[in-house]
Amino acid sequence: MRLLLAEDDALLSDALVAQLGQAGFAVEHAPNGAVAEYLLARHDFDAAVLDIGLPMVDGLTVLKRARDAKPALPVLVLTALDKLDDRVAGLNAGADDYLTKPFDFPELEARLRALLRRTRPVIAGASAGGGPSPEMGRLVFEREARRASVDGQTIELSPREWELLDLLLTQRNKVVHKDQITAAWGPGGEAPGMIEVYIHRLRRKLEGSGLAIRTVRGLGYLLEAAA
Amino acid sequence: MTRPAALQRLLAATGGSLHRQLLLWLLLPQLVLWGAAAAFTFNVAERYAVAGIDASLAQATRSLARQVKPIGNGLFIDLPRAAQDIIEADPDDRVQYMVSTPPGHFILGNRQLPQPPAPATRGTPRLNEPSFYDAALDGQPLRVAALYVPIGEPGVDDERRLMLVQIARSRASRDELARRILRDTALPLSGVIVLMTMIVWAGIRAGLAPLARLRALVENRAPNDLAPIELQAAPEEVRALAGAVNQLLGAVQESVAAQRRFISNAAHQLRTPLAGLKSQTEIALQANSDPQLAARLARVHESAVRSAHLVNQLLTLTRAEPEAAGALPRELLDLRALVQEVTAEHVPRALQAGIDLGMDDPPEGASALRVRGASLLLREAVANLIDNAIRYAGRGAEVTVSVREEGGLSVVEVADNGPGVPDPAQRDAVFSRFVRATSEGPGCGLGLAIVREIAERHGGRAELQPVSPQGLRARLLLPPPTRPGTTPT
């Protein structure tokens, strides 16, 4: 997957190029806004990581222009500023996500992949090389085909269970609140009291998949790698 | 121009109080002037009284002189016994008289009446002109009028034909009159002085009252409140003073704001190099196979993480201080929803640290707890409390976040069953900046200071309570929402 990294700090960009490369991305580096614009115009990228504070042409301007030219491009904005206004400005200018420096690389990677999943309806969790990624345990979740399998064996899921699993997977390692589940099930969905029942069923079906659903007291549920 | 030494001493005596100084400047001259006026009035009145008495004495001497007429070689005294009795009868106002001719040679009246003083008798006394002198008779003070009258043909036998008529009156009445005059003038004057003193004193008090108001306004200020002082209806001079103070406050405010901006900018600038440092170290750790180097690199990484954390906390702290916090919008918030979001965000980190993080269910039938505040700041406060629990409760501990109402206040509580902070003094001290309860782990000692600042910006407070048998309850207490426009700073 081709990724544009626009970051002017030499130390940071050097490290990011290496880390993103290792994660399976083909990275092009732009040290300033002018080069970034040039590259964006010339090549097709699957995603872009943009630093707000770029020399020559600042990040927000590059973003706005890129948005006009390529509305579908997922852009994650990096910045040292984290005031509310800056966040809002970034998102208003067209950023899809926002990360403050310094950050943890796994977080950057996870967010990038989340952005990519939205635009590319492929096997969820698949890395650039294809196949199940480590965080997914042994589960293969094909959203388009509506098929879930563990070690090749298909798991039978009712529509509600499917929606529930999909939501948990999308929010992997994050707490999913009961309200979110009810919202995902949509109007005409089950009563909130039924959530526990479905969670229970899903837990049984996920046994042996390397994934587990944790109950977080007072907050909701979380899908994580099984201990 | 140097002040006279006496004035210096006077000022020192008043203890440097403006009040006392004014009183002294206004009352002392008044009292002195009053004294002078009283003395002067008394003097004048006494002189006129004396002149009056002397005039009546003079007239009496002339009348008496007319009663003595020469007949041949003798004198005819036309003074009936009745008249003599009248003259001598008044017990209060004894009138003494003596007629002598030649002068000193007694004819009529009181023989013991003292003669006019020697200077008056030396040489030729003035004729037909009364003279007055003070004398004493039997210990009684007297005022005497003496009149030399020629009898008979003028120019013939002067010595023999000179008559001395003396009328004397007790000075007691004159003194009594003088006293009465003094009383009748001095007493009202004193009353006026007392009244004037009270008015002056009240006037000074009223005049200085704006100063007292200004002082109260300044004294009641919170130490870091740099807003201008509003002084209503004050006189020009005090307004000028308040204006000068406000200018100073403004300058200080600007200076503080500039400092804060600098710290904020510096912290932001630090972030990019720190991010670079962190990322490079991570790569090095990945690529490295040398265990010793790995250990060292791990330390470097830890240091980078710590620095990044410190920078973040510093930025949060500057944002929580009154000036910056005052610029944030205040809105009505659902406290439970906010806390839920923040807690949920921290669950993954808690799990990584081996902590069971969860929330308490709201009590049955409880209505939504609302607070008025800055969402950004309150999130930071709650995040810091939860962050502390995750860092310090230790692997395997349970951390529970609850939101409830206690005595009218909204309380956010993060309770853990970790080692806690057993020493009550330390539980207080950790709220200070850069003070930590432990030296383990990469904390920077600003978390609770941030929570306290944010609590204060919202008119609330933060506290730590122990849990038995072990653990810590970190609590954030917030007041109920007030009307918009009356939010605390």
Q: Which residue ranges form the domains of chain A, and what is each CATH number?
A: 2-119 (3.40.50.2300), 134-225 (1.10.10.10)
State how far residue B484 is from chain A, nearest Cα, in angstroms: 22
CB contact under 8 A, B344 and A173: no
Mean pLDDT of A189-196: 77
Q: Is B275 on the interface with A (CB under 8 A)?
A: yes
Interface of A with B (CB under 8 A): 9-12, 14-16, 18-19, 22, 53, 80-82, 84, 100-103, 105, 173-175, 177, 214, 216-220, 222, 224
ipTM reported for the complex surpasses 0.85 = no
With beta carbons under 8 A apart, name residues in chain B contacting A101.
271-272, 274-275
**pLDDT confidence of residue A216:** 92
Q: Is B357 on the interface with A (CB under 8 A)?
A: yes
Listed residue (B467, B452, B450) closest to B402, CA to CA: B467
Q: Is B358 on the interface with A (CB under 8 A)?
A: yes
DSSP lists the bridge partners of residue B358 as B400
**pLDDT confidence of residue B487:** 44
Is B254:B284 a contact under the CB 8 Å cutoff? no
Least CB-CB distance to A80: which of B272, B345, B348?
Answer: B272
CB contact under 8 A, B359 and A81: no
**pLDDT confidence of residue B89:** 63
DSSP assignment letter at B104: T
**Dihedral angle sign, alpha carbons of residues B78, B82, B83, B87:** positive
State how far residue A218 is from chain B, nearest Cα, in angstroms: 4
How does the average pLDDT of chain A come out, rounded? Answer: 83
**pLDDT confidence of residue B153:** 60
CATH number among 3.30.70.890, 3.60.15.10, 3.40.50.150, 1.10.287.130, domain B221-327: 1.10.287.130
* CA distances in angstroms from A53 to A9, A93, B9, B260, listed in the order given: 10, 14, 69, 21
CB contact under 8 A, A15 and B268: no
Q: Is B268 on the interface with A (CB under 8 A)?
A: yes
Quote the CA–CA distance of A61 and A57 in Å, as a whole number.
7
Residues in chain A: 227
**pLDDT confidence of residue A134:** 45
- Tally of CA atoms within 13 A in the half-sphere of B470 that contains its CB: 10
With beta carbons under 8 A apart, name residues in chain A contacting B284.
none
Instruction: Give me the phi and psi of B134, to 5 degrees please.
Output: -90, 140
Instruction: Kindly identify which residue of chain A lies nearest to residue B265, measuring between CA atoms.
Output: A81
Q: Is B284 on the interface with A (CB under 8 A)?
A: no
Whether the pLDDT of residue A123 is over 50: the answer is no
**pLDDT confidence of residue A93:** 83
CB contact under 8 A, B376 and A84: yes
- Domain edges within chain B: 53-178, 221-327, 330-478
**pLDDT confidence of residue B229:** 78
**pLDDT confidence of residue B99:** 82
Q: Is B359 on the interface with A (CB under 8 A)?
A: yes
**pLDDT confidence of residue B389:** 94
Q: Which residues, including other chains, have CB under 8 Å from residue A177's CB and lie 6 or more apart?
A: A219, A220, B340, B344
Q: Which parts of chain B have pLDDT scores under 70?
A: 1-4, 7-8, 10-16, 72-73, 86-93, 117-125, 152-161, 223-224, 233, 483-489
Q: Is A144 exposed, middle or buried (0-12, 13-18, 19+ CB in 10 A)?
A: exposed
* CATH number attached to the domain at B330-478: 3.30.565.10
State how far residue A15 is from chain B, nearest Cα, in angstroms: 5
CB contact under 8 A, B282 and A15: yes
With beta carbons under 8 A apart, name residues in chain A contacting B344.
174-175, 177, 216, 219-220
CB contact under 8 A, B272 and A16: no
CB contact under 8 A, A100 and B279: no
Give yes or no on whether B53-178 and B330-478 have one common fold: no
**pLDDT confidence of residue B239:** 83
**Where are the extended beta strands (E) located within chain A?**
2-6, 26-30, 47-51, 75-79, 97-100, 139-142, 147-150, 153-154, 176-177, 211-216, 220-225
Q: Is B378 on the interface with A (CB under 8 A)?
A: no
CB contact under 8 A, A224 and B401: no
CB contact under 8 A, B347 and A222: yes
With beta carbons under 8 A apart, name residues in chain B contacting A175.
344-345, 347-348
CATH number among 2.30.30, 3.30.450, 1.10.150, 3.30.200, domain B53-178: 3.30.450
CB pairs under 8 A between A and B: 93
The 10 Å Cβ neighbour count of residue B207 is: 15
Q: Is B308 on the interface with A (CB under 8 A)?
A: yes
Q: Which residue has the tokens 């309570």?
A: B465
Rg from Cα positions in chain B: 52
Token digits of residue B248: 């100073």
Token digits of residue B138: 């039997």
**pLDDT confidence of residue B479:** 93
The structure's pTM equals 0.63
CB contact under 8 A, B274 and A81: no
With beta carbons under 8 A apart, name residues in chain B contacting A224.
351
